[in-house]
Amino acid sequence: MSKQDYYEVLSVSRDADEATLKKAYRRLAMKYHPDRNPDDAVAEEKFKEAKEAFEVLNDSQKRAAYDRFGHAGVDNSAGGGQGGFGGADFSDIFGDVFGDIFGGGRGGGGRSRASRGTDLQYNLEMSLEESVAGMEKTLNIPAQVSCDQCSGSGAKAGTTPAQCDTCGGVGQVRMQQGFFSVQQTCPGCRGSGQIIKDPCSKCRGAGRVQEKKTLSVKIPPGVDTGDRIRLSGEGEAGEKGGPAGDLYVMVQVRSHAIFERDDDDLLATVPIDVVTASLGGELEVPTLTGIVNLKIPAGTQTDKVFRLRGMGVKPVRGHSAGDLLCKVVVEIPVNLTSDQKRLFDELRETMAGKKASRHSPKHQGWLDGVKQFFDDMRPGA
């Protein structure tokens, strides 16, 4: 089975820049993400296709090979790994909502004897209304925290760790075997460079204890599924007083009964009765901020889309909000009374005959197409 053109998969032009590629991929990944479409094989395949297309087109060398040779030029480079997000870096596509909510950084420099703590992830589920308006959420996170009794040193209060005699505090030793010299982790201090002779009674020399800590995090308005917030230094504490890891809050927005989010726009399907569709009128349409009146012109057909500007979602990084797109669906009445059926019969009679094309131009166009089809099928046509 031949593969679809990568540019067509992402619905971008062949000269699309990096920003356009990322925006297109983000939209498709949001729409077809397995978390949003559980047990949906079609959506899963669409997600994989979008990921593969982005991996190739976002790489300048792969893209050049694809533009020149097509799929044959990148068959060995596309597809990523198994499961998860493969080779596409979602931290680059979706990005942190805040790079560092508390400011500061991890610092640099040389190797530290104390190891950095593990990063943690918290999956935060919220409603569409909460994601659009923003919220403040209290989190209870089980984690290894720095021991308050020894301040993370692992040594009993009033004492300090001693320098390792084996490695001289370096954390590594050099072994000489003939002409070869091998450097390895010190067996005496296990690389820390220190020996705790009198360990803390609370943490037993580890410098960390397991606790449940409470954090308050502000979720900015406009977040969407796949966005993440990084809380610097709120992961697990490092060993032997090492720096703490980070906490990543991953956003997951629940499905909504009325609206579906598409990037910064909201989509809604609005049923209307056949009388309003025929004669026109006004409908009350819900939005995330209240009720608005939507004018329906006479002769409105099903699947007609009305755009309510500025009534969508204001993104985290941006100034103007998206739109609310209302797709109307004309609902055919059921359970008619005898009087109602009689009125419809009378209406049908008045709309029949030569004037039918005036009232149903699409239907008349379809009939003309059918007639032409059979005329072309006749022998000698």
Residue-wise pLDDT for 46-86, tens only, equals: 888 999 999 899 888 888 888 877 777 776 544 443 333 34
Q: Which of 22-36, 244-258, 312-326, 343-357 has the lowest mean pLDDT?
A: 343-357
| C-alpha span between 157 and 369 (Å, rounded) | 92
Q: What is the pLDDT of residue 177?
A: 65
- Does any domain span residue 176? no
- Looking up residue 58, the CATH number of its domain turns out to be 1.10.287.110
Asked, for residue 1, whether it belongs to a domain, the answer is: no
The single-letter code of the amino acid at 144 is Q
Range of the domain at 345: 338-377
Whether residue 108 is contained in a domain is answered as yes
Tell me, yes or no, whether 263 and 325 share the same domain: yes
Count of the separate structural domains present in the chain:
4
Would you call 228 helix, strand, or coil by DSSP? strand
> Which of 131-135, 274-278, 352-356 is least confident?
352-356
In this structure, of 100-114, 260-274, 346-360, the range with the lowest mean pLDDT score is 100-114
Task: Indicate whether 35 and 72 sit together in one domain.
Answer: yes
Q: What is the mean pLDDT of residues 343-367?
A: 76
Residue 89 shares a structural domain with residue 101:
no
Question: Is the pLDDT score of 118 beyond 70?
Answer: yes
pTM: 0.57
For residues 196 and 273, the model is more confident at 273
**What would the pLDDT profile of 308-348 be if each residue is shown by its tens digit?**
999 999 988 777 899 999 999 999 999 999 999 999 999 88
Please report, to the nearest 10 degrees, the dihedral formed by the alpha carbons of residues 282, 286, 287, 288 taken in order: 160
Q: Give the total residue count for the chain.
A: 381
What digits encode the pLDDT tens for the residues 286-299? Answer: 999 899 999 999 99
Residue 171 lies in a domain: no
373: which 2 tokens? 């089809």
What is the predicted pLDDT for the residue at 133?
Answer: 92
Q: 354 and 218 in one domain?
A: no
Q: How far apart are CA 45 and CA 93, in angstroms?
A: 19
pLDDT tens figures, 157-189: 888 888 888 888 888 888 776 666 778 888 878
Instruction: Flag whether pLDDT at 91 surpasses 60.
Output: no
Average pLDDT of the chain to the nearest whole number? 82
Among the three residues 63, 93, 123, which one is the final residue of a domain in this structure?
93
Give the strands of the sheet with 305-308, arranged side by side.
259-262, 265-273, 324-331, 305-308
Residue 225: inside a domain: yes
Same domain assignment for residues 234 and 370: no
Residues 150 and 216 in one domain: yes
Confidence of residue 137 (pLDDT cuts 50, 70, 90): very high
Which band of pLDDT confidence, cut at 50, 70 and 90, is reported for residue 97?
A: very low
Say how far apart CA 34 and CA 32 lie, in whole Å: 6
Question: Do 12 and 145 have their domain in common?
Answer: no
Distance CA 263, CA 222 (A): 10
Paired residues of 281 in beta bridges: 296
Degrees to nearest 5, angle at CA 153 with 151 and 159: 95
Task: Give the end of a domain, one of 76, 93, 110.
Answer: 93
**What integer pLDDT is reported at residue 123 of this predicted model?**
92
Banded model confidence at residue 379, pLDDT cuts 50, 70, 90: confident
Q: Same domain, yes or no, for 207 and 62?
A: no
Mean pLDDT for the stretch of residues 371-381: 76
Burial of 161 (0-12, 13-18, 19+ CB in 10 A): buried
Do 64 and 108 belong to one domain?
A: no
**HSE-CB of 16 using CA atoms within 13 angstroms:** 23
Q: Name the residue type at position 295.
A: K
Q: What is the CATH number of the domain that holds 282?
A: 2.60.260.20
**What's the Cα-to-Cα distance from 297 to each of 92, 272, 328, 355, rounded to whole Å?**
45, 12, 12, 22
CB neighbours (10 Å) of residue 129? 13
Residues 15 and 108 in one domain: no
Q: What is the rounded distance in angstroms from the CA atom of residue 134 to the CA atom of residue 136?
A: 7
**Pairing assessment for the beta strands 247-253 and 208-219 based on DSSP bridges:** unpaired
Tell whether the model's pLDDT for residue 381 goes beyond 60. Answer: no
Q: Using an 8 Å Cβ cutoff, are 124 and 249 in contact? A: yes
- Which segment of 101-105, 191-195, 280-284 scores lowest on mean pLDDT? 101-105
The answer to whether residues 249 and 157 belong to one domain is yes
pLDDT at 277 over 90: yes
Domain annotation covers residue 326: yes
The predicted structure's pLDDT at residue 103: 35
Residue 319 maps to a domain: yes
For residue 158, what are its two tokens?
């009033």
In contact, 24 and 10? CB cutoff 8 Å: yes
In a domain, 219, yes or no: yes
Q: Are 229 and 217 in contact (CB under 8 A)?
A: yes
- Of 206, 222, 253, the residue at which a domain comes to its end is 253
* Whether residue 144 sits in one domain with residue 17: no
CA 104 to mean position of chain CA atoms: 26
